[in-house]
């Protein structure tokens, strides 16, 4: 009974038993509070989606689902499942970019300057209306240039000639109404649109190559592109100016954040002997 080790063990057992009775080792559960504001937000989202208020059962289901999600998210974070997850990282990046995207407004002089500095983005496209006679390279082979010259001479000398009845059969339209140059480029390809812009009005000319073959053309209408006034394209200019301004602010903010870090980029082992 006088052995010190026995006294030490007895005291330890006594402390352990008291601690168990008092719950000293019991870990308090994490608290999840579903606030009134959160419940109101759930109900408002339901109402916006379904155009009616949720029933008591539906609201309870949403609350239960929120609690389940909160528990599972906390467990996932505790297990570190968020680390090295490309989707989670991308979503966090998007949230940070959203938080740093301040609303921007422009003055008239700023919009005028932006319009002047970016004319190609807002200028109206050239429009052309024309007739065309198509020559298929597969059908004409090496004589296509001579055949085109003969057909062009016929068209120029005979005002009553019907272009639709001449040339080779194809699905291409014989008459093209007033159409933007970009649409002509997209449909015909080749250098047809460029040749149409240079062609004289009301006169047969060519041949001009497209992605289909050769064309003899007669331009009936030519509306050159123009630089619009700010009042005509204000909304478009304001939108593009805002996008550019936000991108500039984002670059500046990121540069400030980048300055806080020391960046080291290692070379992969396969690309060299060391970092």
Domain ranges of the chain: 36-99, 108-119+228-257, 124-223
Among the residue ranges 55-69, 109-123, 194-208, the one predicted with the least confidence is 109-123
Per-residue model confidence (pLDDT) at position 27: 47
Which residues are CB-neighbours of 260 under 8 A, at least 6 positions away? none
Average pLDDT in the chain = 81
Cα distance between residue 268 and residue 34, in whole Å: 48
Per-residue model confidence (pLDDT) at position 157: 85
Buried b (16+ CB within 10 A) or exposed e, 195-212: bbeebeeeebbbbbbbeb
Phi, psi of 49 (to 5 degrees): -80, -45
- The share of the chain scoring above pLDDT 90, in percent, equals 11
The dihedral region occupied by 40, where left means phi > 0, alpha psi between -120 and 50, and beta the remainder, is alpha
pTM: 0.45
Per-residue model confidence (pLDDT) at position 231: 77
> Among the CATH numbers 3.30.365.10, 3.10.50.40, 3.20.20.70, 3.40.50.2000, which is that of 124-223?
3.10.50.40
In what order do the strands lie in the sheet containing 175-180? 175-180, 127-135, 214-223, 204-209
- 207-236 pLDDT tens trace: 999 989 999 999 999 988 877 788 778 888
Model confidence at 26, pLDDT cuts 50, 70, 90, reads very low
- 105-163 pLDDT tens trace: 778 888 888 888 887 778 778 899 999 999 999 888 888 888 889 888 888 888 777 77
Model confidence at 13, pLDDT cuts 50, 70, 90, reads low
């Amino acid at each position: 009974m006088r052995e010190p080790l026995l006294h030490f063990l007895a005291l330890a057992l006594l402390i352990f038993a008291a601690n168990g009775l008092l719950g000293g080792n019991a870990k308090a559960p994490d608290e999840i509070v579903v606030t009134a504001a959160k419940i109101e937000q759930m109900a408002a989202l339901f109402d916006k989606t379904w155009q009616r208020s949720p029933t008591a059962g539906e609201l309870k289901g949403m609350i239960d689902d929120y609690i389940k999600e909160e528990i599972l998210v906390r467990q996932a974070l505790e297990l570190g499942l968020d680390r090295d997850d490309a989707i989670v990282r991308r979503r966090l990046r998007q949230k940070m970019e959203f938080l740093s995207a301040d609303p921007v407004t422009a003055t008239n002089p700023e919009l005028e300057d932006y319009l002047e500095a970016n004319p190609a983005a807002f200028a109206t496209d050239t429009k052309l209306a024309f007739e065309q006679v198509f020559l298929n390279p597969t059908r004409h082979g090496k004589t296509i240039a001579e055949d085109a010259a003969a057909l062009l001479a016929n068209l120029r000398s005979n005002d009553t000639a019907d272009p639709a009845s001449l040339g080779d059969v194809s699905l291409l339209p014989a008459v093209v109404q007033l159409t933007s140059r970009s649409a002509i480029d997209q449909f015909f390809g080749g250098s047809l649109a460029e040749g149409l812009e240079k062609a004289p009005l009301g006169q047969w000319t060519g041949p001009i190559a497209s992605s289909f073959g050769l064309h003899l053309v007669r331009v009936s209408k030519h509306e050159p592109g123009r630089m619009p006034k700010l009042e005509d394209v204000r909304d478009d200019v304001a939108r593009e100016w805002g996008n550019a301004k936000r991108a500039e602010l984002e670059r500046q903010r990121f540069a400030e954040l980048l300055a806080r870090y020391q960046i080291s980029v290692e070379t992969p082992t396969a690309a060299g002997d060391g970092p």
